[in-house]
Amino acid sequence: MTIVKSPKELANLIDHTNLSNIARKSDIKHLINQAKHYDFYSVVVAPYYIEYGKNLLKSSPIKLCTVVGFPLGFVTQKVKEKEAKIAIKKGVDEIDMVINISAVKSKDTETIIKEIEKLRSVARNKVLKVIIEAELLEKEEIINVCKIANDAEADFIKTSTGLSGLSPQIANINLIKKTVPNMKIKASGGIKNYKIAKQLIAAGADRIGTSSGDLIMEEYENG
């Protein structure tokens, strides 16, 4: 069980995120200013804002992350591969890829294996997080995709895109931790306060993906 002992420790677990399709440059600038204020681990922005975000983070230790195959995951492997290559060329540090949930539901293991292995190859010097939409999967599906991601040497299992309308379940964090104990876990989806974040961190989440990082920090600091 991980217990957060300081604001700095908490901030270092947060991927401060804005993936809204109506986000403006001013919104991304605000996101990054908040990240700098609290010293969050990273910011997550849409591919459109990679270069803009990179410029705003110049000389900052805060990592820049973007998404691939977002949000539904059912684009082809070649599309995901191209998206990742472009993102890396533009300067991202981390990639959160959405797996093909339709392939998971269809028991098309080969497609899942190939796309994660290809993204791992493309992003070999970057942190790769595999978004599995855990709350939409059955127990055995979670186990299978986690094992595939682990075998492909991805860095993280990420629970959700945050757009499924479902919050991360402690039971799923526990299941992921039990299935692939050497992989890190990013919990995301509807994490809007410190109480929820604290529970997920205690259950084993190594990162918290949230658009409410500032509110979580304020709640923690105010006791």
The pLDDT tens digits for 77-107 are 999 999 999 999 999 999 999 999 999 999 9
Active-site residue, 186 included = yes
Average pLDDT, the chain: 97
**Active-site annotation holder among 126, 184, 186, 198:** 186
Q: What is the number of alpha carbons within 13 Å of residue 45 lying toward its C-beta?
A: 32
Asked about 184 being catalytic, the answer comes back as no
The whole model's pTM is what?
0.97
pLDDT tens digits for range 56-70? 999 999 999 999 999
Average pLDDT over residues 18-42: 98
Q: Which candidate in 15, 96, 206, 214 is catalytic?
A: 96
Q: Which two tokens stand for residue 41?
A: 């681990």
* Confidence class for position 165, pLDDT limits 50, 70, 90: confident
Catalytic residue among 129, 158, 184, 198: 158
Domain segments of the chain: what residues? 7-221
Give the whole-angstrom CA distance, residue 168 versus residue 200: 8
pLDDT given for residue 164 in this prediction: 86
- Say if domain 7-221 classifies as CATH 3.20.20.70: yes
d(CA 186, CA 201): 9
State the average pLDDT over residues 170-199: 97
**What value does the mean pLDDT take over residues 115-138?**
98
15 is a catalytic site residue: no
Q: Which pLDDT score, from 0 to 100, does residue 163 have?
A: 87
pLDDT(29) > 90:
yes
**What is the per-residue pLDDT for 1?**
66
